[in-house]
Amino acid sequence: MIEEYTQILNIFAESIISKNYEQAYALFSSGLKETISKEKLQETIEKYLIEINQEWNTNNELEYPNDFSLDENSAIDYNYFLNEKSNYSLFKSSKSLPIDITNENFRSWSVISFLASEQQTEYLEFDGWFDFWCILIKKDDNLEIAYFEIHDLD
């Protein structure tokens, strides 16, 4: 993975782990910010954490992940999202790509896997929480998160 991509994804992941939603939200593109507020981002993440915690019976405490890993699907490009036959086609859902994602600024379809730390695995019965898939774009020489989906951990 390109170091520049790793940097923004690390910052985002560390922000979520430390519950610094303001910092995480600051990494979103203006188009994504038009579709989701900082509060809704936090609500979305915490809803998923609560569901996983309840499923694994973690004493009903809101347990946050303490670790993460990064990856990308380098075979995916902007046009792949527009192809009706692709697995990731947004035509298959009511979602559409935010207007600020273009073929020219699309950089990566990346994933942050939010995981349990070694210490957490001593008392939790699972290895992690979820995969945060996102589109990175380059806008005005800055990388931004312009779209995301949350999926079960692979």
Position 84 scores a pLDDT of: 52
| Per-residue pLDDT tens over the stretch 80-122 | 666 655 555 444 444 666 778 888 898 998 999 998 777 776 7
CA atoms within 13 A on the CB side of 119: 5
Report yes or no: 154 and 17 within 8 Å, Cβ to Cβ. no
72-92 in b/e form (b: 16+ CB < 10 A) is beeebebebbeeeeeeeeeee
pLDDT higher than 60, residue 23: yes
| Per-residue pLDDT tens over the stretch 26-77 | 999 999 999 899 999 999 999 988 887 777 666 667 778 888 999 987 766 6
Stated pTM of the model: 0.85
Give how far Cα 88 sits from Cα of 39, 114, 134, 141, Å: 27, 21, 12, 27
